[in-house]
Structure formats: C-alpha cells, structure tokens
Amino acid sequence: MGGRLVNAPRQFLNLIDGQARPAASGEWIDSIDPATGQVWAQVPAGGAADIDDAVAAARRAFRTWRRTPAMQRAALLRALAAAFAEWSQSLAEIETRDNGRILTETTAGDLPAVVQMLHYWAGAADKIHGETVDIGPASINYVQREPIGVIGMIVPWNAPLAIFVAKAGAALAAGNTIVVKPPESASCSILEAAALFEKAGFPPGVMNVVAGLGSVAGDALAGHPDVGKIAFTGSTATAGAITARTASAIKPLSFELGGKSANIVFADADLDLATVGVTTAAIYTGGAGQACIAGSRILVQRPVYEEMIERIGRAAAAIRLGDPMDRATQMGPIALEGQYGKVRSYLDIGLDEGAEMVLGGGSGAELFEPGSALGGGYFVQPTLFAGVRPDMRIYREEIFGPVACIVPFDDEEEAIGMANDSPYGLACGLWTNQLKRAHRVAAGVDVGAVWINTYRRIHWALPFGGMKQSGYGRDSGMESLRGYQHTKSVWVDLT
C-alpha cells in the first residue's frame, strides 16, 4: 500500500471550480524553507490546461455571482473574514515557513490586516452606487457600475496572502470572479486559504487558484482571452512582459511594482525616532528588506550625516537574524535562492562601483554557529553603503534585500530633487519637526505614498500604488473598487 513518507514534503493543491486538484500534468514544484534551504512543501506545477479550466469555471460562476444581491456578497465576505480570523495562526505559520518573513510580522501584521480588509470590502459591497446625470429634460441619463468579469491576479512572494486579499476583496465586492496565480516560491498560504472561500459559502468557481511558474501559468493567465483584467503585483520587468503579452488582447491592467524609495532625515528631526524609522521600520525589516516600499535610499541632512551613520550602525548591530518561526528573531532570510544570489551580487557591485560598505556585508553560514541548520539558509546581514554617487547601480536599482545607501544633502530643495531622481515612484519617508517643511516636501515628491515621521504604514482604507516605473492603478481604498468595474452609460429618451 502506498502512503506518505514520514517527513515527506506537504503537498498543497490548486482549487478549480470548487475542487482541490493537483496540476493536470501531475507535476510539482518544490517549495523551499529559506531559513534552511530544505524542501518543506510541494505545490502544483499548473500550466495552460489548468488555467483554461480555472478561467472557464470563473466565467460560469460570473453569470450568477454578478447577479447575486449585494447584501449577500457582503455577508459572504464577512463570513470569509471570520474564517480567516479562525485560521490566521496556521496561515501565518505557513507563509513564514514558505517565504521566511518573521512570524511576529505575519501573525501581528498581515493576518489581522487581511481580516480587516475583508470586513472593509464586505462593508463596501452593498454601497456600490451609480449616478444620474442631468443633460436636459428630453432624457434620463444614468451611469451604472458593473463588474468586469474574470479577474486574473498575479502576485509576488514577499507578502503573497495580504497582497492577494487586498485585490480579491475589492474584486469580489464589485461582483467579479477570480483566478489567482500565486508566486512559485511561496504559493502555500494562498493555496491553503482557498479552502476558506468554500468554508465561508462562496459558490464554486468564484475564486480559483492555480499555482505554477510565472513563465507558464502566469503567462497563460495573462494571455487568456476570457480574462477581463490582470491585477499584478511584482517586478517592473514582469509587468513589461505582461504588457507585451496582452498588447493585442486589449484588457485593463493594474501594476503594483518595484521601488527605490527615499527616506529623508532632516537635521531638525527627532533622531531617536528617525533611527528606528530608517532601519527596522524601513529596510532592515522582518522580511529582510524585501518590501516594494523599502526605504533603500537614506538621505540625511549634512549636519547629522555622520551621527546617523553611527546610530544606524548601533541599531543594525542589535538586530537578531535567525529562524523566522522564533518570536525572538527580528530579521529572517531572503525568501528564495535566486533572490539571495541577486542581493549578494549587489554587495559586490557596490564595492566594484567604489562605494564604501560601512556596515554588514556578511551572509549565509558565516553568520551562524558551525553545524546550525540555519547555515543552509539565505541570510544577509543588514548592510549600508556610504560614499555613493547617484549614477551607481546600488543607488538606482531595486535590490530587494537589507541593503541601503546613505547619502548627504544640504537643503530641502536638494532633498526633493534627490528623492525624485529615480526611475521609481512608490513611496517616500521624511523625518522633520517642521510642519511647513513636512508638507512642502510631501507635495514635492513624485510617489504614491508619503510617510511623515513614520514609515511603511499601509491601511486597507488608503489607496496604495505608485508612479513612474512603480506602476499604475491602486490597491486598497474605495478608489481601488473602480479598478474592478466598468461604467455603463444608459440614455432613456423621454420625447
């Protein structure tokens, strides 16, 4: 008799039309625990056949879901929020195991936020209003907001569940159905959560998930003619590939992409607050700086530049790297081997470019006792480069790891110019005790989110997204609902 081997990797399944299924090909992708480099799970290697089935199911489900009374959609979203609340601990553990972001962040941050997002969208579902437009007595003209249809969602590995739910809540509230393609290196939390939609009472086919490679399942989803919109979070390069793939299909796209955000410290700031704000809050995070909004460019006014380097050094030295499942750990590993290699390559690039590594630079087994299981993990020390020129790659390119550049500036105008001297435009932090300066700088920076005397704050009620190479379209907030709706203008002749 067959049976599961003891310690065999746990296998997660796709959900298509209410059925938990392996990939049609029968193939699997190994999911690696980045803290040890060991395989801990397997996810289906879905392909075009699975995407076809999922899109067909979502299309069928759309016919009735779009006509489901709004209050019923709201009630289902509330039930889904309750199901996520009930299962939040195990979902947080799965995500931490899969992508290495520390358990304290996934349990205290992501999962409570996911539950609140679903309540928020439940509240929105029965408040979708059209409008009438007065163009004269000869007609009645009204505008309806209608769901688009099947939404294809493609998400990255740094916070897959929260990024997915931010999109899914809005899409479902608006009356759309979903096919989501999770990231191949961290699919497990979304695959596990799929069962909660069934548990909450969603009809089969309203939410489908197909795991697989981006170049296979992601490509098939983006190119599918029956997918009405692609809502994507990930790298700018992949957004380009999706744009090319959908060029002749003419479908709306929304892109939440990368960043190289400036975190600006003025000499008048509370430097204790600013030190936390430019280190553990911004770049030396529980997810090892793998955040699109990471404050990877620290701009410091010259009078406090040297002092801030010392302060950052002291703060970084106190950060405890280790097992992300351990609640004492403050920074976990890089989520996957390829990204680990990329981050380490930037350490060499920075040195080759002539920057000065004033902090960190260590990685891998050298950070742990010999024989530690963590020696096989993808850890990188908090690292800081000084002596950076604005043309250097480490200053311009998104590294997506715990690596920052620190650069001095003299005045406000120069700081704004430096913040905007980037192909990206996602976020900006600024630290000052001058009220007028704070608002002037906030108005001057070309980004989608500004934090004043705080950093990396995201809320389901606030629109989130970028400018320039950081993308277009917004997640969260009522504005994002519009991204999942068509408007229809109806003209009733009265003559």
Q: Is 292 one of the catalytic residues?
A: yes
* Of the candidate residues 22, 100, 152, 258, the single one contacting ligand NAD (CB under 6 A): 258
Helix, coil or strand: residue 393 = helix
The site for ligand NAD, by CB under 6 A, has a size of 29
Q: Which is nearer to ligand NAD, 239 or 406 (CB)?
A: 239
Smallest gap, in angstroms, from Cβ of residue 289 to ligand NAD?
11
Q: Using an 8 Å Cβ cutoff, are 460 and 308 in contact?
A: no
Options 81-89, 151-159, 341-349, 487-495: segment touching ligand NAD (CB under 6 A) = 151-159
Best CA proximity match to 65, nearest among 180, 205, 238, 264: 205
Q: In terms of CB distance, is 175 or 473 closer to ligand NAD? A: 473
Q: Supply the minimum distance, in Å, between the C-beta of residue 181 and ligand NAD.
A: 6
238 touches ligand NAD by CB under 6 A: yes
191 contacts ligand NAD (rule: CB under 6 A): no
Q: Report how far apart, in Å, the C-alpha atoms of 139 and of each of 130, 143, 262, 458 are.
A: 17, 13, 52, 44
List 176, 233, 330, 383, residue binding ligand NAD (CB under 6 A) = 233
We find the least distance from the C-beta atom of residue 403 to ligand NAD, in angstroms, to be: 14
Structure tokens at 374: 């963590």
Residue 400 binds to ligand NAD (criterion: CB under 6 A): yes
Selected from 206, 398, 402, 425, the binder of ligand NAD by CB under 6 A is 398
- Quick one: 152 or 322, whose CB is closer to ligand NAD? 152
Tell me the three state secondary structure of residue 17. Answer: coil
Tokens of 486: 């068509």
Q: Which stretch binds ligand NAD (CB under 6 A): 84-92, 107-115, 229-237, 402-410?
A: 229-237
Query: Which CB atom, from 150 or from 274, has the smaller least distance to ligand NAD?
Result: 150
- List residues bridging with 147 in a β-sheet: 485
Token output for 342: 């990329």
Is 53 among the residues that bind ligand NAD (CB under 6 A)?
no
Binding mask 342-381 for ligand NAD (x = CB under 6 A): ----------------------------------------
Shortest Cβ distance from residue 482 to ligand NAD (Å)? 18
Nearer to ligand NAD, 41 or 308 (CB): 41
Stated length of the chain: 495
**Cα(236)–Cα(355) distance, integer angstroms:** 26
Is residue 241 involved in binding ligand NAD (CB under 6 A)? yes
Least separation in angstroms between residue 241's CB and ligand NAD is 4
Q: DSSP labels for 188-236?
A: HHHHHHHHHHHHHTPPTTSEEE----IIIIIHHHHH-TT--EEEEES-H
Copy the structure tokens of residue 432. 């000052």
Spatial distance between the Cα atoms of 306 and 163, rounded to a whole number of angstroms: 37
Of 110, 256, 323, 412, the residue at the interface with ligand NAD (CB under 6 A) is: 256
Spot the catalytic one: 188, 292, 405, 428.
Answer: 292
**Residue 428 is among the residues annotated as catalytic for this protein:** no
In whole angstroms, the minimum distance from the beta carbon of 256 to ligand NAD comes to 3
Stretch that binds ligand NAD, among 233-241, 266-274, 375-383, 449-457 (CB under 6 A): 233-241
Which of 292, 301, 287 has the alpha carbon at shortest distance from 430?
Answer: 301
Residue 218 within binding range of ligand NAD, rule CB under 6 A: yes
Among 257, 299, 388, 428, binds ligand NAD (CB under 6 A): 257
Going 381 to 382 to 388 to 393, the CA torsion angle's sign is positive
The verdict on 34 binding ligand NAD (CB under 6 A) reads: no
Q: How far is the CB of 81 from ligand NAD (least distance, A)?
A: 22
Phi/psi zone of residue 64: left (φ > 0), alpha (ψ -120 to 50 degrees), beta? alpha
The answer for residues whose C-beta is within 8 angstroms of residue 26's C-beta and 6 or more apart is: none
Residue 222: CB minimum distance to ligand NAD, A: 5
Q: Is 155 in the site for ligand NAD (CB under 6 A)?
A: yes
Q: Where are the alpha helices (DSSP H) in 67-202?
A: 70-86, 88-99, 103-105, 111-125, 160-173, 188-200
Residue 186 CB, nearest approach to ligand NAD (Å):
8
Smallest gap from residue 338 Cβ to ligand NAD (A): 9
- Going by C-beta distance under 8 Å and a sequence separation of 6 or more, which residues neighbour residue 190? 155, 160, 161, 164, 180, 182, 209, 211
Residue 256 and residue 470: Cα distance in Å, rounded?
Answer: 6
Residue 368, burial from CB neighbour count under 10 angstroms (0-12, 13-18, 19+): middle
Q: Which residues contact 251 (CB under 8 A, 6 or more apart)?
A: 227, 228, 229, 230
Should residue 183 be labelled a site residue for ligand NAD when binding is judged by CB under 6 A?
yes
- Largest distance between two CA atoms of the chain: 87
| Non-local CB neighbours of 393 within 8 Å, separated by 6+ positions | 346, 349, 350, 353
Catalytic residue among 184, 256, 398, 412: 256
**Binding window for ligand NAD (CB under 6 A); candidates: 92-100, 124-132, 180-188, 354-362:** 180-188
In angstroms, the CA 311 to CA 456 distance is 20
Q: Give the interface segment with ligand NAD, choosing from 90-98, 150-158, 314-322, 346-354 (CB under 6 A).
A: 150-158
Query: Which residues does the annotation mark as catalytic?
Result: 256, 292
Positions in the binding site for ligand NAD (CB under 6 A)? 154-158, 163, 181, 183-184, 214-215, 218-219, 222, 233-235, 238, 241-242, 256-259, 292, 398, 400, 426, 466
